Amino acid sequence: MDNCWICSNIADSEEHKFKASDLKRFHGKKMNALYISKKIIELNSYKDKSLKFPKVICTNCNNNLTRPHDDAYDKFVIFCFENHEQILKTQVIDFEEIYGENWELEKVNLYRYYAKHAGCKIVTSNIKADLKNLSEFIKGNIQVTDFLVKFERKAGVQAIMHAFNLADKYNHLYNSETTYWNIHIAPKFGGWLSNNYMTTNWVFGTNINTNSKNIFKNKYETILLTDNHFFEIKEQEDDTEFSRIKFIDQYIIGFENSHNKTTELKVEYFENLILANNTAHNNS
């Protein structure tokens, strides 16, 4: 068994790739859903193995240390779902509106939730990286230099949600593949998680974030708005029907990847997030 990447005890716990509360909230304990990975898997339970990371953290970190981070995440995604029209209009997330007077700690705890997710993605990608700064942040550091987060709304995902919700209740959860680059010098990693209308991008790399103090002091975060002008539907071949798998591939993954269809474009996008992050809130 490996060691927990957060505290280095024996890793005996399986963190969910998608939060169990997200799955239970929308799907109930008996679920009937499709998990789209390299292949499509039918799911009957939120405890399905394919929804979990291999054992890379320990029970104590997963159940005790990161519980407040999980709670901050739950409040965040519920707020973003219920207030998605307002967020689209203002293009701003107000953390005091979500968390009340405790927003400063809760905002950091939300970022710690994404730090845990990112760390698990990095460890399971099998590319060597030093996660010490990330684990110190999760264990209580109030700054983080190797990690950043940027929120985004994707018009294409919204279109899918509205279309699907006409027929049935649709819950959109997406966990991107991990992009990595620069791996022989100083490896960087990027990815994102979507929970319905809200996408959270994360980037990891040594000293990529010189600004976390300013960011954590600010109760507002602006969000990126991504249009769907890039989107083109491929020509239909005459002899094939438009299957569910093709639909998922072209629409859901297409809208999630948005403008960044190739690895090169994804790397460029994440590098731009690093640049923008280090100038954000400097005047506040």
Chain positions contacting Zn ion, by CB under 5 A: 4, 6-7, 9, 58, 61
Least CB distance from residue 209 to Zn ion, whole Å?
A: 23
Q: Dihedral of the CA atoms 74, 76, 77, 79 (nearest 10)?
A: 120
Tell the residue number behind the tokens 């159940």, with chain if given.
63
Least CB distance from residue 135 to Zn ion, whole Å?
A: 9
Least CB distance from residue 280 to Zn ion, whole Å?
A: 31
Pick between residue 66 and residue 109 the one whose CB is nearest to Zn ion. Answer: 66
Query: Could you give the count of Cα atoms lying within 13 Å of 193 in the half-sphere of its Cβ?
Result: 18
Pick between residue 65 and residue 87 the one whose CB is nearest to Zn ion. Answer: 65
Pick between residue 131 and residue 144 the one whose CB is nearest to Zn ion. Answer: 131
Cβ-based burial of 118 (10 A; exposed 0-12, middle 13-18, buried ≥19): buried
Least CB distance from residue 38 to Zn ion, whole Å?
A: 29
User: For 40, which DSSP code?
Assistant: E
Q: Please choose, from the candidates 193, 198, 214, 190, the residue with its C-alpha nearest in 3D space to the C-alpha of residue 268.
A: 190
Structure tokens at 257: 């990847």
Least CB distance from residue 7 to Zn ion, whole Å?
A: 3
Q: Do 209 and 148 meet the contact criterion of CB atoms below 8 Å apart? A: yes
Pick between residue 23 and residue 61 the one whose CB is nearest to Zn ion. Answer: 61
Pick between residue 6 and residue 149 the one whose CB is nearest to Zn ion. Answer: 6
